[in-house]
Amino acid sequence: MDVKKEFLGILQDYVDFPVEEVDTEAAFKAASGIDSFVFIEMIAAIEDHFGITIPNADLKSFNTISDIIRYIEARVN
């Protein structure tokens, strides 16, 4: 499973630009431009897609897109 590719596919549903242009090491909010409400919707989509649960307390650790990808990889592999 290519978690990064699948995550970027989900992210694409929430942004208005090609996800290939996203710097995965930049601050998530700055890189994606999505607000808090949309972020929560995206987290729900991630949970559904990957069959995982992401506790609210863990959301604080998502500073970059790479952080989210590594988090998902650790839970699905």
8-52 per-position pLDDT tens digit: 999 999 988 898 888 889 888 877 888 889 999 999 999 999 999
Residue-range domains of the chain with CATH: 3-76 (1.10.1200.10)
Model-wide pTM > 0.85: yes
What are residue 64's DSSP bridge partners? 27
Closest CA to 65 of 75, 16, 10: 10
pLDDT of residue 13: 95
Across residues 57-71, what is the average pLDDT?
A: 94
If 0-12 CB within 10 Å is exposed, 13-18 middle and 19+ buried, where does residue 66 land? middle
